[in-house]
Structures are given as structure tokens and as C-alpha cells.
Structure 1
């Protein structure tokens, strides 16, 4: 009973990166690049409508489930199969792991697409966009969590943060190795699954959260140049600025530091 609905969830989330994967390693790498890569290049701030397809489908599924009896029943079937599983607190940490990996890799000398300032602007912008979206939707949709405790289930904030970081890791390191992106999306998917097994979210919550996280990061890359132009002039090249956001599951905020 458990395997069928759970496998559906795993398949649905994994499709964001592995839709065309083949058994051969070279084919797998190329297929994954074709699936995740977009033209124009998101990491360079270039916009293309194809970049909206995957997050759009994920977000659309989540909203469709709010008014679909069949999708609602699927949510309940998965919850019924998973509610007796052992709960874990690992998801309180894995939601940050993909984004933290970007900074860890740079610290160990594996250079990504952007310098510290620019990648921090990207991450901070994505963080703020996603949190504004999640907080607004939680307060307006009033979806009760599977455990029945509160009415702020839709969408999943943890899953949003995890997929935001996974897309961030992918965009920064897709030209270094596709496996960084695969690892990031695997951790993000695991985070979403743990939100289900912890009885904190419905399938539709985590699917929508995944879409919001991915789209927020893409939008942050599109906004990088305008933000840089707004905040940093050519005469201020020696200035450095850093915005460090935080989210503990209930509260969000950030610290801004500028050095002259």
C-alpha cells in the first residue's frame, strides 16, 4: 500500500531533473543537463519562457489540488500510508544543505559562476521572494496541516527553501559538474519526503513549495544585474555588502552588513 503513492511522489519530484535520464552515464549527464539547463542561461540573468515550465507545472499542481477532489484524495491516501512512519528532525537541517554547499564549495576552492557578493545577493533575493510568497499563501489559503494543529500547511516552507537552494547550487555549478545539481535536488526531494513522513504537509504542499523555490532562485538571477546597478556604482567598487537571511521554521529575518 505504501509503495504506490510514495513512488508517485518521488517520481513527480524527481522529474524536475531526471525526466530524460538514460542508463549510460554519459547519456545520463547529457540528459540531466538538457532537462535542467535552460536557454537562455538563467545563471547569466537571461530570461526565457521555457525556464518557467517546470516551476509553473509544480506550482500549478499545488493550486489545482486546492480545488480538486481527486488530488485531495491522493493527498489523503499518501498521508494515510505515511503517518505511522518514524518522524525525524533531519529536515530542519537539510533544507539549508544545498545552499550551504555553494558557500562550502567556494571555501574549498571549487569556484562557481559568481563571486561572494553576487551569489549572496542572488541567495538573499531568492530567500526574500520565496518567504514573501510562502507567508502570503499560508495566511490566505488556510489549509489545515495533516496533523490538524494549524491552518498554514500550503505551501511547504521547508521544501521551498530546499529547492531554492538546489536550484542555486545547480545554477552556480552546472558547468563544473552536473552531479552537484543532482545531489542538491536529491537532498531537496528528501526534505520534501520527510515533511510528508513527519505528518506536517500534504503532497500538494511540497510540490507547490518545490516550484516556488525553483522559481524564486531563477527570478533572483534575473534581478541580479538590476540590483547591482541600483546598489553599487562604478565608484563604489571597493565596498562590500552582505545580507544573511535566516529561517527557523517559524520566523524569518536577516542581517545586512556593508564595509566601506
Structure 2
């Protein structure tokens, strides 16, 4: 049974990596140095993962499958391994480690940091909001914030980040990141902290957050980090006159 779970998640990883290869080839001529061009096909894998997780919130069949995994974990695993607390950060950290070793990625330090921060902001906001809304009990009964898996979302956001930055150097950088992310999700179930549906949804949210961060990067950079050549100074001044509230904006080009 455990082998089946491992193959299931690894197949998701391999499929996503293969899909991203195809996508990167399809947009090779239009992709810029700084951002990933939108392609609706890139939504397929994360949408399937997120959809599986949400269906599992109501599906008795998927809930039963979750319970089988929990029973298998409790029956055969005695010692917990908390390596997932660290591996969730490994893919993203690898981008900076590779660059420090002299292996250049797609973007410079500033640009990649903006992309990663945007991804984590979207991912964290989504994860915490869903945890608060769904209130799913964890397999170990410790809390009602199981859905989706934040560790897994974090790991897969980093894996997609590693893929996008270094896929042109070697696809194995990105594949290794996805393997580590998949392992993080497996350990969340191994440690009886998450259901399979939590892990699937977390993986989809993480991947989609980073893809969206690359799509939005030109807008985010031009809005919040304008270049000196096209520097725009703006000021927003809220006002309240006792009856009305509003805000005024002054923009200097």
C-alpha cells in the first residue's frame, strides 16, 4: 500500500515535470529573460491537484481512502521523522545556493527574490484562508487546520521556482526539486499530520502560486520596484471631512 502511495505522488511529479518541458518548448520563442508567458496548459496539473483536494472534502470515497492511509501509517510506522520541516525550504534555497556556486539562473538576485516573495505571499494567503474556512481535523487529531498542507505547498512552490530558474541549465535541477517536494508531502502523511487530499491540494496551490508569480512579475516589478530610468513617484493621501471618506493620489512622472 505504501509503495502505491509513493508511486502515486511520484507520478504526479513526473507528469508535471514532463508537462512543464512541453510548455517551455511551446513558448520558447516568446519567453523573456524575466518572466514566464501565460499558457492555459500550465494550469492543468495544479488544477487537477487542487480539484482532487477539494473533492476530497465531500467525497465519502476519497475520505475512505484517506482513512485507509491513516490506518496503514498507524499500523506500520512507530517513529516520526521531522525532516519535512526542513525539506519544505530546500528547493527554493537551492536556487540561491546554485547561484552562489556560480551557476546562473534565469533572473538576477533582486528579480528572483521579488518572484519568490510574490509566490509565497499568494501561497501563504491561500493556505491560511482555506485552513480557517475548511477546519478539517488532522489525522492525529491535534488540530482542525489540516486542509491544505502548508508544508507541501511551500515545497512545491519552491520546486516550481527552482524549475523556472534553472530549467535552461538542466532539467535535472527542476526534477530534483520536485522529487524533494514530493518527499515532503509523503512525510506529512508518514508523520500522520495530513491526509492525501491535503497534500494534493497543497502541491497544486504551491505550483500555481509560483507560476502566477512569474506571470505577474512584470506588473509587480514596474508597480512596486520601478527602474530608475522610468521612475514614477506616487503618493496616496486618505482624507475624512467628518461626513465623507476618500483618498487622493498624486503621481509624478
* Unaligned residue ranges in structure 1 (runs of 5+): 22-30, 239-260
Displacement of 1:35 after TM fit? 5.5
Displacement of 1:149 after TM fit? 1.3
Q: Is 37-46 or 190-199 further displaced after alignment?
A: 37-46
- The TM-score with structure 1 as length reference comes to 0.81
Counterparts of 2:4 and 2:206 in 1: how far apart (Å)? 21
Displacement of 1:32 after TM fit? 7.2
Trace 1:158-197 onto structure 2 (pairs within 5 A). 158-197=151-190
Trace 1:75-86 onto structure 2 (pairs within 5 A). 75-83=66-74, 84-85=76-77, 86=79
Give the length in aligned residue pairs: 225
Please name the residue that 1:34 is paired with: 21
Counterparts of 1:56 and 1:228 in 2: how far apart (Å)? 27
Q: Give yes or no for the alignment of 1:226 onto 2:219.
A: yes
Q: For the pair shown, which has the larger CA radius of gyration, 1 or 2?
A: 2
Please name the residue that 2:146 is paired with: 153
> CA, structure 1 residues 125+181, in 2 after alignment: closer, same or farther (shift >3 Å)?
same
Give the counterpart of 2:54 among 52, 59, 63.
63
Please name the residue that 1:138 is paired with: 131
* Unaligned residue ranges in structure 2 (runs of 5+): 232-253
Displacement of 1:184 after TM fit? 0.3
> CA, structure 1 residues 192+54, in 2 after alignment: closer, same or farther (shift >3 Å)?
same
Secondary structure at the counterpart of residue 228 of structure 2: helix
Q: Tell me if the contact between 2:35 and 2:218 (Cα under 8 Å) persists in the aligned partners.
A: no
Secondary structure at the counterpart of residue 130 of structure 2: helix
Counterparts of 1:141 and 1:166 in 2: how far apart (Å)? 26
> CA, structure 1 residues 103+9, in 2 after alignment: closer, same or farther (shift >3 Å)?
same
Please name the residue that 1:107 is paired with: 100
Counterparts of 1:189 and 1:101 in 2: how far apart (Å)? 16
Counterparts of 2:111 and 2:230 in 1: how far apart (Å)? 13
Q: Give yes or no for the alignment of 1:9 onto 2:5.
A: yes
Q: Tell me if the contact between 2:54 and 2:201 (Cα under 8 Å) persists in the aligned partners.
A: yes
Counterparts of 1:107 and 1:177 in 2: how far apart (Å)? 17
> CA, structure 1 residues 20+233, in 2 after alignment: closer, same or farther (shift >3 Å)?
closer
Counterparts of 2:117 and 2:14 in 1: how far apart (Å)? 28
Q: Give yes or no for the alignment of 1:72 onto 2:68.
A: no
- Structure 1 segments (4+ residues) deviating >6 Å: none
> CA, structure 1 residues 20+192, in 2 after alignment: closer, same or farther (shift >3 Å)?
closer
Displacement of 1:82 after TM fit? 1.1
